[in-house]
Structure 1
Amino acid sequence: MVKSVTDRRVLRSKQALKEALLSLMARKSFSSISITEIVELANYNRGTFYTHYENKEALLDDVLGELIDELIAAFRAPYDKVELFRVDEMSANSVKIFEHIYSRKEIYSVLFHSDVLPMVKEKMFAAIKRISIEDLEHAPQGKLNPELMHAYSMHALMGLVFYWIEGGFQYPPEYMQEQLVEILHYRPTAARTHLKK
């Protein structure tokens, strides 16, 4: 019983510190935020902070770690219960990555308007790339280099995700899911040019 009370207290204090950091990041740069500001806003003391985190970077890593775990689970949703994942049969409602991001849009918005954006993007991309390499084995097709195809598809997916977040979630997640599936099935054979003769 004592351990469960302690665990809840730890979770509560860590959550308060994360929320305080994000609240401050919505108003100022991460680099200018002090630990004193974080603990004062969270209504804790510095001792509590240092019990959980070595520095503010470790606190930010905890925020990102939680988000990225959820991002990975959302990425895996279309194939986590099947042995053979057929991209050409994937339905829009099986895509969960946009739903996850939209459910945490306040946090993503803060991070994408902060001075730590390059690091955030790098961590998100690296996590999705690693998981897709570990989880999915693509059958070779003709002259396609699997490594290059993988790099192309991961950059395309995350580019779409980043564009959507940076655009302020202009479209609902359901629309983004539908569009992703349409894009995956789109095979252009020609394009009209606007070059003058």
Structure 2
Amino acid sequence: MDKRVLKTKTALTDALFELLETKEIADISVTELCEKADVNRRTFYIHYSNVDDIFEDYENELSEQVYQTMKSANGDIETLLDTFDNILSSNFQGFKQLCLNQKHHALIDRLQRMLFHTLEDSLLVDNPSANDQLVLQYLSSGLINSYIYWFEHPDKMSYQELAIINKEIIQANLTILK
């Protein structure tokens, strides 16, 4: 991607996430977003047709980043979990805004499917049983949903506690695999 395009999209995404700290997405105008990002409205419309499109673009980028990084983790469950946690940590503000603004459904579906297939590829043999697949489906959905829950209830536990609990739950459930 051209450096100018990347700079523009990053500025718009950062500005959107900053505005979402105090406003609902429906209340954010293109003009306000462009002023915050120091981007011309015409430039905005070259890349997006509306403010919601920034979320879709961010979802696509985050999903691809998670997929590529987890594929390179080579099957070690500890590495997979650490990798997943690191990606979400480095995209913390964006993922938080996606979850809290109910714009996360497509991303969540993609992340769950990607995590399931990555776990399946790295942990199971060629012909996994239905039971094994069910355990991995449960794990992948549960892991993603635990982050959503935490974003919605950050006062219940620290981020470090969440990561520890997720690892313990996943390790316990992996013993079910045959």
Shorter-chain-normalised TM-score: which range? Answer: 0.7 to 0.9
**What is the TM-score when the length of structure 1 is the normalising length?**
0.67
- Point out which structure has higher relative CO (alpha carbons under 8 A, 6+ apart): 1
Residue number in structure 2 paired with 1:192: none
Question: AA paired with 1:180?
Answer: N
**What is the TM-score when the length of structure 2 is the normalising length?**
0.73
The answer on 1:57 being equivalent to 2:52 is yes
Q: 1:78 aligns with which of 73, 77, 80?
A: 73
Give 5+ residue unaligned stretches, structure 1: 80-84, 188-197
Q: 2:28 aligns with which of 17, 26, 33?
A: 33
Given that residues 17 and 93 in structure 2 are in contact (C-alpha distance below 8 angstroms), is that contact kept between their aligned partners in structure 1? no
Give 5+ residue unaligned stretches, structure 2: 174-178
Cα 1:125–1:150 shift into 2, 3 Å = same
Residue number in structure 2 paired with 1:156: 142
Given that residues 22 and 107 in structure 1 are in contact (C-alpha distance below 8 angstroms), is that contact kept between their aligned partners in structure 2? yes
Tell me the distance in 2 between the aligned counterparts of 1:101 and 1:19.
Answer: 16
Overall identity of the aligned pairs, in %: 23
After TM superposition, the structure 1 = structure 2 runs for residues 29-178 of structure 1, keeping only pairs within 5 Å, are: 29-79=24-74, 85=75, 90-91=77-78, 95-114=82-101, 117=102, 119-130=103-114, 132-133=116-117, 136-137=120-121, 138-139=124-125, 140=127, 144-145=130-131, 147-168=133-154, 170-173=157-160, 176-178=162-164
Question: AA paired with 2:116?
Answer: S
Which structure: greater helix fraction?
2
Residue number in structure 2 paired with 1:23: 18
Q: Secondary structure at the match of 1:36?
A: helix
